Amino acid sequence: MPKHPETLPGPAGAMPGPGSGPGPEGLDARLVVDRGSFHLDVALTAAPGDVVALLGPNGAGKTTALRALAGLAPLTAGHLRLDGADLHRTPPESRPVGVVFQDYLLFPHLTALDNVAFGPRCRGAGKAEARARAAAWLDRMGLSEHAGARPRHLSGGQAQRVALARALATHPRLLLLDEPLAALDARTRLEVRARLRRHLAAFEAVAVLVTHDPLDAMVLADRLVVVERGRIVQEGTPSDIARHPRTEYIAQLVGLNLYRGQGDGHTVRLDAGPAVSTTEDLSGPVFVAFPPGAVTLHRDRPTGSSARNLWRCAVAGLETHGDQIRAELTGELSLAADLTTVAAAELDLHPGAPVWAAVKATQTHAYPA
């Protein structure tokens, strides 16, 4: 599965239109689920070999979308086609879909081997054949020596691999992963993520994973679909989304300051108040983004600055990120700024301290909204 090179450097978030679907091969779905006040409407297309991440805050509807794909939640409307076959009315047990659940849901009364053999058994394989296939899958996952272990004796990372093997053992044409790394502690996570990435890269059909962790999404997926409040707000390659976030949520995820405004030549008048000088020449509704590292802080108003954006702010909060400090600022403009601990000490930063925040026009990035 080729990791998409950055093929879409152009205007931000170019959403694949309905015409750019993958044809009969792969996934073509529009998932509409109405449940009381919650409304989900998400269109998803993916070609075999694609790894798509549904990224969004909790309660955005990601898991509902996943359950709809698996057939565990009924669609109110829309369609669901996989490799050309209509699955809309197909019960979950008849769909060529494998699911890795958030807490894995390994059957506690079965050994790792029998957990993996469960799928092949249900799909018609004989007992010996199913077990042989399960053993091969466990071997691929590096779990041969744990074949006889019950789930409660497996570590989090091992259980995750057993769950993945169990889902893959039925040769699904669509693999669904619900928060595949959420149940793991930070240290295991790193290793499991790298391993999962290799397995997903080797998977020949469509994989859709749901996560609220942008790092997981960017490492594991070729394409991100950002869902907020039941709707897709942005779709694209990880790098595309990182450079052109279209909502505050995404900007926060990727660590950007993001504002909406009206472009007028090299100036953007922000909806939030002040104007920002940019290098781009745009008119009409635009986004302006700049990374927290591009912000410089000053105790006194800096002089002789050309094409510099300057705002009077106050420190609202300070957070340590490694050897960096991220300062949350309020005032003329709310923004985040990164600086070294030394610089923070020299500036005598503390909550409530007044500062001047400056950003060079060349460090900002404006793009049409």
Binding residues (CB under 8 A) for other proteins: these are 70-72, 91-95, 97-99, 101, 105, 107-109, 118-119, 122-123, 166-167, 170
Least distance between other proteins and beta carbon 93 (Å):
5
What is the rounded distance in angstroms from the CA atom of residue 126 to the CA atom of residue 223?
38
What is the rounded distance in angstroms from the CA atom of residue 83 to the CA atom of residue 67?
19
Nearest to 167 by CA among 98, 69, 101, 70: 98
What is the rounded distance in angstroms from the CA atom of residue 162 to the CA atom of residue 105?
10
277, containing H or E segment: strand 275-290
Least distance between other proteins and beta carbon 116 (Å):
10
Least distance between other proteins and beta carbon 190 (Å):
27
> What is the rounded radius of gyration, in angstroms, for the C-alpha atoms of the chain?
24
Considering beta carbons, is residue 119 or 291 the nearer one to other proteins?
119
Considering beta carbons, is residue 101 or 311 the nearer one to other proteins?
101
Least distance between other proteins and beta carbon 91 (Å):
7
Considering beta carbons, is residue 95 or 223 the nearer one to other proteins?
95
Please answer whether residues 326 and 336 qualify as being in contact, where contact means their C-beta atoms are separated by less than 8 angstroms. yes
Least distance between other proteins and beta carbon 44 (Å):
18
What is the rounded distance in angstroms from the CA atom of residue 167 to the CA atom of residue 197?
16
Query: Which amino acid, 364?
Result: T
Nearest to 168 by CA among 126, 199, 144, 147: 199
Considering beta carbons, is residue 94 or 283 the nearer one to other proteins?
94
Considering beta carbons, is residue 123 or 197 the nearer one to other proteins?
123
Considering beta carbons, is residue 100 or 226 the nearer one to other proteins?
100
Q: How many residues does the chain have?
A: 369
Considering beta carbons, is residue 106 or 336 the nearer one to other proteins?
106
Three-state DSSP class for residue 175: strand
Nearest to 30 by CA among 97, 86, 72: 86
